[in-house]
Amino acid sequence: MNPAETESTGLKLHLISDFNLETLGHYLANGGTSPQVSVSVAPFGQVFPALLQPAHAQASDFALVWTSAEKIVPTFPNALNGVAVSEDRIFAEIHQFADCLREAQKNFRAVFVVSWTIPLHQRGNGILSLKRQGLRRLLLKMNLKLAEELENCASIYLLDGQRWMEMVGKTSYSPKLWYLTKTPFHAEVFRRAAADVKAAMSAVLGASKKLVIVDLDNTLWGGVVGDLGWQNLRLGGHDYLGEAYLDFHRALKGLRNRGILLAIVSKNEENIALEALARHPEMVLRLDDFAAYRINWNDKAANIVELVAELNLGLQSAVFIDDNPVERARVREALPEVCVPEWPDDKTLFASQLLELDCFDSAYATLEDVSRHDMYAADKRRQLSGKEVSSAEEWLRSLDTEVTVEELGDADRVRVVQLMNKTNQMNLSTRRVSEQELQAWLQPGNRKLWAFRVKDKFGDSGLTGILSLDLESDIAYITDFVLSCRVMGRNVEKAIVAFAVQYCAGLGLKELRASYLPTSKNKPCLKFWMSSGFLFDETGNRFTWLLNEPYPFPDGIKIHHSHHKGASQQASTPVLRAGQDASLAVFSD
């Protein structure tokens, strides 16, 4: 989908159910939260036909499937009625349902399936309910079976319906609404479900937050360190608030372990605050846990702008947490792109409030995600090394950067799709795709996609670049040119372009073209291409390179080509070295 279209018209979500889901549709369409979505509803009670013959499929980006266990799993009603059932038979019926879901996912970017629930008032077998043949135990196993069936389906996500029921409580099931309108749940259940569905869509679209910026005094610890000294802060100990602050630390650390970066913006004397972080014996979070900080008496909004730029992120990636409502209001007003959740006065609620935020939900968990903090730490060391050399070129050469190129394989598919869907700044066309869509795009033999891994003497940044080409007659078109902000500005961009020129020249093509599709966030990409040396045609935002001309390969970078022979047998062939003209080297596939 064209990103410009998405921004203006919103996304389309198709609801499929065996009960009345209109109230959910209303909350999704009218809730006012992002992403904006228009909703269509499949004919009532026709789940399998809707999954197998999706009339709206071509027009919808996402589908939500919310069913009743007793309707989808025909044997299950016997268990509800106290009759012994065969688990094998139930699992076979679930397998059939999963088959339909797997078929349906081909027509959507993602399919969200709600887990099965039964009313909280349904006691089942009472104390035998979690024993063999117990009703609750059976339901747990059914949901687990469904989760296992869908485990390897990259674009099907199981949403936890039980959580919504528990949050609403005993009024979650509404017999009255069921008998009046065939709606089984109270509106509050649908309101919470809508929030989670929106979070899920944001996750799939790559819009999840990547950075938490926290204040210090009365946020990370109790008290003002400048007044009390670090020794007298309320943190840990046999103190109920001290314990609450420590649990807040642990919750933040949990986010960091998932790949969310932490940072500090605080109005304090830097040395006093840093001493507290270093010396307080109960501090769970230490300075090393933070990717960046601004501790001074400057305006927090200005500090946030600087800090986010230092991390090469956009403001829309950040969440700001501060106990002071005045500071929160200031940042909200000055930086509307930054998420500033309302924060409780009650410190005992800090950890739970953080854990409840859905803005960090991610649709993927890759090695690059969980090691994001370490990569930023390496980047800090990298930046510091730049201060020891006399010129930018010398610094870049000193990094000993190596780029490994490999054609897209199964092992990289998830990370490639993730990178395409969440990269904004260095992204030529900002194309957003699901795994299925990418696979379909690559079917014709005239299209190629490569992944680029980058490492240097400070560390391995992982898979951080993508190039895709569409070859038509004697012209090659760059469809995707994507680079993670983590490795921007280190000449990797030029190395990718040099590789593209080399490949196309090797095929005997005449021109290499790149069309820049502007968005609100990819101006850095335009800036790079304007300096790339390519001819620029302003009318079409098009850049052209005549392939009979050599393209200079950037100094200080080695590029290797990795061949897929299995994980343990990957061969790495040096393709280009510094100073070598990309158009003269023979490219070997």
Q: Which is nearer to another protein, 30 or 231 (CB)?
A: 30
Q: Is 180 an interacting residue with respect to another protein (CB under 8 A)?
A: yes
The residue range among 19-27, 124-132, 229-237, 416-424 that interacts with another protein, by the rule CB under 8 A, is 19-27
Count residues near another protein (CB under 8 A): 19
How far apart (Å, rounded) are the C-alpha atoms in residues 540 and 257? Answer: 44
Q: Which two tokens stand for residue 306?
A: 């600087």
- What residues from 310 to 349 belong to the interface with another protein (CB under 8 A)? none
Select from 6, 22, 163, 442 the one that contacts another protein (CB under 8 A). 22
CB of 414 to another protein, least distance (A): 36
Instruction: Give the chain's count of helices (H) and strands (E).
Output: 23, 19
- What residues from 118 to 147 belong to the interface with another protein (CB under 8 A)? none
What is the strand order of the sheet 211-214 is part of?
Answer: 292-296, 261-267, 211-214, 318-321
Q: Is 177 an interacting residue with respect to another protein (CB under 8 A)?
A: yes
Q: Which is nearer to another protein, 29 or 305 (CB)?
A: 29
Q: Is 195 an interacting residue with respect to another protein (CB under 8 A)?
A: no
Q: Which of 23, 334, 329 is nearest to 197 (CA)?
A: 23
Q: Which two tokens stand for residue 435?
A: 């795994």
| Helix, coil or strand: residue 537 | strand
The residue range among 1-9, 27-35, 487-495, 532-540 that interacts with another protein, by the rule CB under 8 A, is 27-35
CB of 164 to another protein, least distance (A): 15
Q: Is 38 an interacting residue with respect to another protein (CB under 8 A)?
A: no
Complete DSSP assignment for 468-532: EEEEETTEEEEEEEEE-GGGTTSSHHHHHHHHHHHHHHHTT-SEEEEE----SS-HHHHHHHHTS
Q: Is 181 an interacting residue with respect to another protein (CB under 8 A)?
A: yes
CB of 520 to another protein, least distance (A): 27
Select from 132, 176, 387, 565 the one that contacts another protein (CB under 8 A). 176
- Per DSSP, which regions of 18-72 are E strands? 37-41, 62-66
Q: Using H for helix, E for strand and C for coil, what is the string for 490-507?
A: CCHHHHHHHHHHHHHHHC
Q: Is 172 an interacting residue with respect to another protein (CB under 8 A)?
A: no
DSSP code at position 331: H
CB of 185 to another protein, least distance (A): 10
How far apart (Å, rounded) are the C-alpha atoms in residues 15 and 114? Answer: 11
Q: Which is nearer to another protein, 27 or 450 (CB)?
A: 27
CB of 19 to another protein, least distance (A): 12
Q: Which is nearer to another protein, 23 or 484 (CB)?
A: 23
How far apart (Å, rounded) are the C-alpha atoms in residues 391 and 241? Answer: 51
How far apart (Å, rounded) are the C-alpha atoms in residues 586 and 392? Answer: 31
Q: Which is nearer to another protein, 86 or 181 (CB)?
A: 181
Q: Is 17 an interacting residue with respect to another protein (CB under 8 A)?
A: no
Q: Is 183 an interacting residue with respect to another protein (CB under 8 A)?
A: yes
- Per DSSP, which regions of 97-239 are E strands? 110-114, 156-159, 211-214
Select from 62, 66, 76, 190 the one that contacts another protein (CB under 8 A). 190
Q: Which two tokens stand for residue 373?
A: 């903090």
Select from 141, 191, 380, 563 the one that contacts another protein (CB under 8 A). 191
The binding site for another protein (CB under 8 A) comprises 20, 22-23, 26-27, 29-31, 171, 174, 176-177, 180-181, 183, 186-187, 190-191
